Amino acid sequence: MLRPAHVLRTFSWMTMALAVTAACGQNYPERPVHIVTSEPGGGNDFVTRVIAQQLAGNIGQPVIVDNRASVITVETVAKAPPDGYTLLSNGGIIWVEPMTRPNVSWDAVRDFSPVILVASSPNILVVHPSMPVKSVQDLIALAKANPGALNYSSAATGTSSHISAELFKSMAGVDIVRVSYKGTGPAVNDLVAGQVQLMFATSASVAPLLKTGRLRALAVTGAQPSALLPGLPAVASAGLPGYETATLYTIVAPAKTPDAIIRRINQDVTRVLVRDDVKEKLLSAGMEIAGGTPEQLAARIKSEIAALGRVIKSAGIRAD
C-alpha cells in the first residue's frame, strides 16, 4: 500500500507526464514530417502523394514522401523514434507479410500505433465474357459442377487479388485453380485473352475493359456495393453471405507515439479527406474515402489479421 508521500510523488509524476504529452501535441510539428511508403507508381504511393500535398498546408511544415522497397518501408518505421515525424503509409503488407513470410521482423499490433484508415479499394470479381455466368450464384454453381476446370489469375502471392480468390474458394466450397503472375497487368491481359476465366481485380485495372465489354463484372468484394461501380452488388449479398475483402490504405506511426500526436495527425488527415478534390482524385483511382478514429483502425487491423489469417493458413499461402 502506498503511503501519502508516495501517492503524492506518483501523482506529481503522472501529472508531469500528461503535461509533457499534451505539450508535444500542441507544439507538433516543428519540423518536416516524413511519410514512408512503397515504390513509386503503386496505389500506396498515389494515396500518399495526394494526402501529403494537402497535409503540408494544414500543418505548416513540409511533408516528405519517402519511397522505399515494400518490406523496408515497414521496417524503417517500426524502428523510427516515436515522435510523429516518421509515419508509414501502407496497407495490408503490415499484417499480411508476417503471416505469409517467415522471419519478418515486425508485428502489426506490437510495433505500430494506428492513426487513420485513409481509403479502401474493393476488388471486382470479373470474368471473361465467354463465361456462361451472369451472377455470383451462377459462378458458384458452375464451379461446383466442374471442380478444377476453372482458372483464376492473380498477382503475386499474398496480394489482395490472391487472398480474395482463396477466401471465395473457401467460403463457396469450390475448386478453382490459381494461375500466378508477377503483376496485375499480365494477370488482366491473360484474362482478356481468355487464357483464364476469372479474376478478383482492382477497379482501376479493369474499369476501362468493363466499359468496352471485354470483361464482365459480377460483384464487388467489399461488404457493401461501391460507388466505384454503381449498380454492381457485393459478393456477400449476391450469393456468399459474410464475404468481404478490400485493399486498405492506412497511416500508422511507430509504437508508443504519444496519443496527443496520434490524434493531431488523425485530425489533420481527416481535414484533407473531406476535400472534394481529394475525394475525386482517389475515386478516379478506384479508391473510396474512409477516415475514422485510431481506435477504429486498430479494431480493423485485428479483424483483418483474424479473418485473413484463417484463409492464409487454410490455403497454405507463402510469399514468393
Cα separation of 12 and 166, whole Å? Answer: 55
Does a structural domain hold residue 177?
yes
* Same-domain status, 49 and 196: no
Q: In terms of domains, do 113 and 127 share one?
A: no
- Exposed/middle/buried for 18, CB within 10 Å: 0-12, 13-18, 19+? exposed
Domain ends where: 169, 201, 220? 220
Predicted model pTM: 0.85
User: What's the Cα-to-Cα distance from 113 to each of 18, 257, 264, 290, 300, rounded to whole Å?
Assistant: 18, 7, 13, 18, 13
Q: Report the CATH number that the domain containing residue 37 is assigned in CATH.
A: 3.40.190.150
What local confidence, expressed as pLDDT, does residue 227 receive?
A: 85
Segment 64-85 mean pLDDT: 94
Is residue 12 predicted with pLDDT exceeding 50? no
CA separation for the pair 305, 108 (Å, rounded): 9
**Residue finishing a domain among 205, 220, 235:** 220
* Res. 16: pLDDT tops 70: no
Residue 72 has pLDDT above 50, yes or no: yes
Number of domains observed in the structure of the chain: 2
57 and 113 together in one domain: yes
Measuring CA to CA, which residue among 45, 83, 6, 76 is closest to residue 257? Answer: 83
> Which one-letter DSSP state was computed for residue 234?
B
Residue 294 lies in a domain: yes
Which pLDDT value is given to residue 15?
44
Residue 4: inside a domain? no
Average pLDDT score over residue span 178-187: 92
Whether 116 and 254 map to the same domain: the answer is yes
Asked whether residue 258 is assigned to any structural domain, the reply reads: yes
What is the model's pLDDT at position 91? 80
Residue 257's domain comprises 10-21+30-121+247-315
Model confidence at 68: pLDDT above 80: yes
Q: Is residue 242 part of a domain?
A: no
* In a domain? residue 5: no
Domain boundary among 202, 220, 238: 220
Model pLDDT for residues 125-149, shown as the tens digit of each residue: 999 999 999 999 999 999 999 999 9
Q: Quick one: average pLDDT of 191-204? A: 94
Residues forming a β-bridge with 47: none
Mean pLDDT confidence for 270-285? 95
Residue 238 belongs to a domain? no
**Where residue 211 sits, what CATH number does that domain have?**
3.40.190.10
Does residue 282 share a domain with residue 203?
no
pLDDT of residue 320: 66
Contacts of 12 (CB under 8 A, 6+ apart): none
Residues 209-248: tens digit of each pLDDT? 999 999 999 999 998 898 888 899 999 999 899 999 999 9
In what side-by-side order are the strands of the sheet with 63-67? 63-67, 33-37, 86-90, 247-254, 112-121, 288-289
Q: How much of the chain exceeds pLDDT 70, in percent?
A: 92
Are 69 and 111 in a shared domain? Answer: yes
The answer to whether residue 6 scores a pLDDT higher than 90 is no
Q: Do 137 and 159 share a structural domain?
A: yes
